[in-house]
Amino acid sequence: ASNDSMAVVMVDCDHFKTINDRHGHFFGDLALKKLGSTMRRVLPVETLAGRFGGEEFIVLLPPHLVASAAEVAEALRLAVRAIHLDSGRRQVSLSISMGVAKSHPNDESVQDVLNRADRALLQAKGKGRDQVVVG
């Protein structure tokens, strides 16, 4: 891989609106915080991750992790499946859908990679959620 190669993972918390509607915004915020702390715990320390808006997160993987981007995403998916939050009424589990895209030499900007990751994320959601799709 060249020095400027990277991978982007778009992460979406599945059925987040339902979680918010059913359990309230305070609980929804708790779910997002737990998702964030799980990302910090599971993702390699040299990745950059942040909230991209709403219930979406974005993860940037450095060059030496590009080849294993799908495996990194799958490890995160499994860790999130293990989250069980107590809403006071019942246990709530979380799942995430992810789209992975790798940079190409012919990309004009980072936006090209983001667009591919976003399309892969939409495929993951369309195929039933709780999965990783590489674009």
Name residues whose C-beta falls within 8 Å of residue 62's C-beta, 6 or more positions apart in sequence: 6, 46, 47
How many Å apart are CA 123 and CA 120, to the nearest integer?
Answer: 5
Looking at 55, 71, 74, 108, which residue is catalytic? 55
Angle at 11 between CA 16 and CA 71, to 5 degrees: 130
How many Å apart are CA 94 and CA 77, to the nearest integer?
Answer: 10
- Structure tokens of 59? 């993860």
Q: Known catalytic residue: 55?
A: yes
How many Å apart are CA 39 and CA 58, to the nearest integer?
Answer: 11
How many Å apart are CA 98 and CA 70, to the nearest integer?
Answer: 9
How many Å apart are CA 51 and CA 54, to the nearest integer?
Answer: 8
Active site positions, annotated: 55
